[in-house]
A and B are shown apart, each in its own frame.
Chain A
Amino acid sequence: MTASAENGVVWPGPDPSASAEELALLPRAQSDRALTEELLNHVLQPPPWLGRAILVAGGLSSVLLAAVLYTVLTGIGVWGNNIPVAWAFGITNFVWWIGIGHAGTFISAFLLLLEQKWRTSINRFAEAMTLFALVQAGLFPLLHMGRPWFFYWLIPYPSTMGVWPQFRSSLTWDVVAVSTYFTVSLLFWYLGLIPDLAAVRDFAPERWRRRIYGVFALGWHGSAAAWRRHRIAYGVLAGIAAPLVVSVHSIVSMDFAIGVLPGWHSTIFPPYFVAGAIYSGFAMVLTLMIPARRLYRLEHVITRDHLDKMAKLLLVTGTLVTYAYAVEIYCAWVGGDAFERHLLLEVRPRGPMAPLFWLVIACNCGSPLLLWSRRVRRSTLALFALSLTIQLGMWLERLMLIVSSESADFLPAIFHGYRPTLIDGGLLFGTLAFFCFLFLLFLRFVPFIPLTELKALEFELRGRK
């Protein structure tokens, strides 16, 4: 690798070893100017459908508002939860949304550290998805409380009552894990965004827009020193964010693993949950990326090669998840614990929740097998369908995991099923709408393809023009 020094910044020079495969990530050689104009145009001159889409998503988000208000004012009884199924949709949604977020961090931080060039076009996208998914996820632990107005009792603060949270509970670990994760994700995303915000500021035709973007660009002038510090800080944050990918969902999994219930009380949960989280997150990235790529005509920036690599990662994580399922069942079978055997060998595959179980297996273990085919991996339509299937499968998996263990744990006398209410459905639907709403706002106001990074990649691959 050669390097050129300019303004005190060491830029990686064009990489003579750049393979055809890597070159294919940016198939069309474009000048910096052309790239800037094209990508900033999405923000400065948004497509006409976007405003309408934002309105629709915003309108649908009112379902969330209504459901939240109703729940908080009336009581958690408006959900379908019962005793024994004290957690159901709420915690399922929490785990699912958190899991979705993981792919974003994985793409931006892990792949950055591993110097994967293909991450560049999609990382901001993925990070935004992480943030917005975390916003949805964070709602549920609050809402599922009997008395949500006392949520701050889970936070260690010097209370006048002289009491602390009870740190042996994984729920207090959750608070720490999720809030750390959100903070780091936000900083990481925003730090990467600063040069691009400055670019919008510089290119915006209207004064008010220059003002607003100027505020958010935090006075970025692109000096070499600033670039140097920026890259160092970005690397450090990536270093902090990367372990969070593993730790956050490990801790979330402990909400179950530290319990005594059959089907929860298992040491396989942390890796199993992390794999599942990244699995569903990649699926979500694909779900968002495929339509956006098409609508914004970005096929030359987000190429089929990008999709292909994402699909391969889906295949890997899907296989990990399948392995975890198999190990869980095998351990129950050889373990000899009557209650665990009953749950994993009877209740789940053969009990009243069997359709759910087999749907989960079909979605999460069966459908990714199609990705062995190169044709499927490179077909946007097939990938889009698969990404939806996998997300559905992962949501159902969490539901099955949570509800089946609760509904049939130890004493058969209190075994009881679960039926969600309209409010349960409304909350899930509402968060989906709100997520879309936030994402559309992101598309509207923020350069969603990292401009500077893309230019750097272009430079890396093809040299300076």
Chain B
Amino acid sequence: MPPLARGRSAFRADEPEFVFGQDQPPDELSRRQFLALSGVTLAAASAALSGCTRAPAEKIVPYRVQPSEIVPGRPLHYATAATWDGYARGLLVESHEGRPSKIEGNPQHPASLGASSAEEQALLLELYDPRRLRAISKRGAPVSQAELLSVLGAAGDGVRKGRGVHLVLPALSSPLVAEQLAELALRLPELTLHFHVPLARRAAWQGAKLAFGKVLDTRVDLRRADVVLALDADPLARGPNALGLARAFAERRQPSSRYGGMNRLYVVETAMSVTGANADQRLALPPSAISRFVAALLRKIALASGGEAAAAVAQALPELTLGDQAERFVNSLAADLLQHRAASAVLVGDEQPAEVHAAACALNALLENGEHVLSYAPPVVLGSDRDDYASLQGLRDALAAGSVETLLVFDSDIAYASAVDWELARLLPKAKRSVCFGLFRTRTSAACEFEAPAAHVLESWLDTRALDGTISLVQPLLSPLYSGTTVSELLARLSGDPEPSAHDLLKRFWQRARPDQFDEFWETALARGVVTGSESATYPPGAPSFAWLGGLARASAEHGIELSLRADPRLHDGRLGNQPWLLELPCPVTKLAWDNAVWFGPGLAQQLGVANGDVVTLSASGRSLSAPALVVPGHADGAISLALGWGRDSFDGTEVVGVDAYQLLDSTRGHHTRVRVTRTGRHAELALTQDTMRLGEGAESIMLSRTLSEHESQRASGSRIKRQLSLYSGDAAQSPRQWGMTIDLNACTGCSACVVACQAENNIPSVGKRGVLKHREMHWLRIDRYLTGSDAAPRVLQQPMACQHCEKAPCEYVCPTGATVHSSDGLNQMVYNRCVGTRFCSNNCPYKVRRFNWFDYHESDRSPRALAQNPEVTVRARGVMEKCTYCVQRIRTAEIRARSSGRALAASEVQTACEQACPTRAIAFGDVNDPSSEVARLRASDRAFEVLAELGTAPRTRYLMKLTNPNPELA
């Protein structure tokens, strides 16, 4: 007879009724956990009320904005540094009661100069990312730390000398890590160390080695260069010193710069880049033609310079034919470079082969671009002298041979961001034991045995070095949210330290390095964010060798369309791949968000019958990839390009964004390969925030651009930009202080750092791909882009566009509830509470800078990401309008601070978020009534104009006309 009921008798009495991790998924709360957590929460809440925060246990030292006592409730700023590809960029992080809320550049840091890029801003979102790894797990199941420690202990066992242990580190320049690695090499001599750097500067270093016999980094001072040539390089937006270079470049764009007149920028590149968009003369060439171009240029310069070089070059390099257009370009360029001997700079992109870099070294040497413009120094990056730097071929071979006992991967997604022929995704499980430390679950960590959380940069103690060698101490803003490990702690553990602390490791290291007055050194270094006087010495390179010339301009016998695999201008190598701020940032060149598309030149697109959004398949040596096409004016025909860093695996069920171009990256071919392009007949929707637009009728009232000579002749003839006159004076009660902004279009490179800085400062939501497709992106500040000239060789005009704070604002009189009004100090204000959302203001805004909360964008944000929000700025609810406020919260904070200390507000005291982030200082903000302010001076400039002035809106933001300096010979 069957039992009548299967009740409790099914359980054995000695078994616990509920087994954690078996009867329910571990990420769901059991009753017991819930009670335990409630207790903890209660305790934490009472702790928080008594003033306790997540501040690190050790003492960290605030950056002194103002050397006075700390005021409770006022945010503090801490200096620290981020490391990109091994090079440091100084940060200044705003912290509200122990909660980092905004990242700025550190003005004292040479690679930042106070500016920041979109990537730095996005670090904040990364810190609070809800997808971060929270616990140690083994094959997906949570395990105790002890289990992981036993694996690490076995790997670091001195007796076994590290045999079969492979350690993969990201690019680092930390002096502490350098010492730890040296110690480790003594303790575990058979440990194999690999560096995983998807976008390494290896070609540049090897190029210098070819030319000068030593691996060297190039440092440039663009302020001293009259003529700049960028060869497939994007110095204004990429590279270890992009922010510094952009600043220096912009300084020399001013007709009256104190370093000399306006410079001239030549760009020869395949895909349009931020630098290319700012070129005075630009030539689009497929990748293979670029080395031919360099060869031709080198030949001309060498022959003109005479001497040994002329002989060597004449012997090794044949006369090359380039085609009419390129020929004309190279002739004029050579003449211009020769004319500006010792005041020019030739820069090459990292994706170019070593020979092209060597040619650039030779060109700079022949042009006598000495130390004041261009200097060399051994790279600060660890392992840069290794021939196999950034190559994982060794790891691949070891994995394939089954000789990997323990694989330790720190903060590197080697299975994703690496050449596809290394097949690491397939081979990783061959490691007998493997541990992956990281911030997120990645393709690598998913394939490893153990997954363990790593510490975020804002949770870490470390040190790092900038391109020029300047050392920064990395201090944490809060103790690790998820008990993450730093690289120094991992290395210390391998060296046998049972309980390493990143803070103590760093402090002890520097105590040994700077025994005299250590405490003072430590405090100062932490407070300033840089170690003063730590720049590394330059290396006098001597005369270049020409032995490598045979490798330059090798003709390729291959067929197919050339594919250039580029670094993405936003996502870099994909490290920050899934941060919505970056995904939603429109590409500075194409205005495409939430996708990476295959870029086609207009000619090639027409030839192949490809239009925007057509999905094409790229295939090369048995591998293929399908991606939507995008026609980019100014892209070289005969080649296509695709950005790396997209298409990261999604482990939380969200859609994969973009396509993974690493699938076509072959270590034997580098970033340039040849592919077959076939149309699939499918169509994908591209989230373009702006179409490719030309200024038609009325162009002059939107955008002013002149060549330098036109501008000078106009100035000489006394003609002025027309200003609107009015019979009426303003009717609002006027306060003596009137805020205003100027944006110098001549300095703006279109890099879009300001867009993300604004988003971070003002709690602006991301709306996702579907939102962008519906044209509902919320950016208060956008960068309008217009093209002039032909599609094959367009000129790009960029115009940052945010609320113009019109004195006679068309939005104000149409609001039925008076929700948008003018303040007495000249701000066009939005009263969110009073807004009912008729959107009439947006319709009537000629600049269309108002943004509407179509849904409750913040409601669903119950993740830690909400912690990234600025407590000084209202989070807007559904159904209300919003727009640029000129960072009113910063204005009021500064005013209150000045008033409470009984002094007048200084002219430069208020910086808007966009102004602060801008690498080129294109944006100036201040009191227009204060004649000493920068903004008042610029408003009166003969280049200043108002957009759509004829509408009589009297905008408070004025633009400074863009100037270009084309070579008259090429006009």
Contact = CB atoms under 8 A, between A and B. Distances in A.
Contact of A83 (B697, B850, B855): B850
Interface string B700-719: 01100000000000000000
A258 B810 CA distance: 10
Contacts of B846: 260-261, 409-411
Interface stretch (A144-152, A361-369, A393-401): A144-152
Contacts of B702: 410-412
Contacts of A83: 775-776, 842, 848, 850-852
Contact of A411 (B776, B835, B842, B848): B848
A153 B836 contact: yes
19 contacts: A76-B852, A76-B854, A83-B848, A87-B843, A154-B816, A154-B817, A154-B836, A164-B818, A165-B816, A169-B813, A170-B814, A260-B844, A260-B953, A339-B697, A410-B948, A411-B848, A412-B702, A413-B799, A414-B784
B396 to A, nearest CB: 47
A416 interface: yes
Contacts of B814: 168-171, 258-259
Given A166-B813, A411-B948, 12 more contacts: A75-B853, A82-B774, A145-B838, A146-B838, A163-B818, A165-B816, A166-B817, A260-B951, A406-B843, A412-B693, A413-B786, A416-B691
Contact of A82 (B698, B775, B784, B810): B775
A342 B847 CA distance: 17
Contact of B854 (A75, A145, A150, A164): A75
Contacts of A151: 836
A87 B698 contact: no
A168 B839 CA distance: 16
Contacts of B840: 86-87, 169, 171, 255, 259
B875 to A, nearest CB: 15
A214 interface: no
B816 A172 contact: yes
B282 interface: no
B842 A165 contact: no
A86 B852 contact: yes
A154 B815 CA distance: 10
Interface string B942-953: 000001100101
Contacts of B850: 83
Given A83-B775, A415-B691, A165 B818 contact: yes
B784 A169 contact: no
B695 interface: yes
Q: Which 10 A-B pairs have the closest CB atoms?
A: A146-B837, A146-B879, A77-B854, A338-B698, A413-B784, A86-B839, A338-B697, A82-B775, A166-B818, A171-B816
Interface in A166-212: 166, 168-172, 175
Given A75-B855, A411-B784, A411-B846, A166 B815 contact: yes
Contacts of B264: none
Contacts of A87: 839-840, 843
A174 B831 CA distance: 22
Interface in B833-871: 834-840, 842-844, 846-848, 850-856
A12 interface: no
B847 A410 contact: yes
A259 B846 CA distance: 10
Given A86-B839, A410-B948, A77 B855 contact: yes
A464 B697 CA distance: 72
Contacts of B818: 163-166
B877 to A, nearest CB: 8
A27 interface: no
A146 B835 contact: yes
Contacts of B801: 411, 413
B785 interface: yes
A301 B786 CA distance: 65
B664 interface: no
A147 B695 CA distance: 37
Contacts of A411: 702, 784, 801, 846-848, 947-948
A426 interface: no
Interface in A355-406: 406
Contacts of A166: 813, 815-818
A146 B836 contact: yes
A235 interface: no
Contacts of A84: 775, 842-843, 848
B696 to A, nearest CB: 6
Given A83-B852, A342-B696, A413-B799, A147 B813 contact: no
Nearest to B840: A171
A414 B848 contact: yes
A260 B878 contact: no
Contact of A259 (B694, B786, B810, B838): B810
B698 A342 contact: yes
A431 to B, nearest CB: 20
B880 interface: yes
**Interface residues of A toward B: which range?**
35 or more
A82 B777 CA distance: 9
Contacts of B929: none
B698 to A, nearest CB: 3
A172 B817 CA distance: 8
A339 B701 CA distance: 10
Most chain B CB inside 10 Å of its own CB: which residue of A77, A87, A148, A255: A77
A17 interface: no
A414 B834 CA distance: 27
B848 A145 contact: no
Interface in A71-107: 74-77, 80-87
A21 to B, nearest CB: 49
A255 B841 CA distance: 11
Contacts of A414: 690, 782, 784, 848
A341 interface: yes
Interface string A50-82: 000000000000000000000000111100111
A261 B844 contact: yes
Nearest to B842: A86
A174 to B, nearest CB: 8
Given A163-B818, A168-B813, A339-B698, A76 B837 contact: yes
B784 A145 contact: no
Contact of A165 (B690, B817, B948): B817
A289 B835 CA distance: 43
B816 A169 contact: yes
Contacts of A172: 816
A145 B838 CA distance: 5
Interface in B57-107: none
Interface in B815-837: 815-818, 834-837
Contacts of A146: 835-839, 852-853, 878-881
B843 A86 contact: yes
Contacts of B697: 338-339, 341-342
A416 B842 CA distance: 14
A150 B879 CA distance: 11
A86 to B, nearest CB: 4
A262 to B, nearest CB: 10
A416 B775 contact: yes
Nearest to B799: A413
A69 B667 CA distance: 57
Interface in A130-164: 144-148, 150-151, 153-154, 163-164
Interface string B674-708: 00000000000000001101111110011000000
A345 to B, nearest CB: 10
Nearest to B953: A260
Interface string A404-433: 001001111111100000000000000000
Contacts of B881: 146
Given A147-B878, A413-B693, A259 B848 contact: no
A334 to B, nearest CB: 15
A148 B817 CA distance: 13
Contacts of B813: 166, 168-169, 258
A74 B852 contact: no
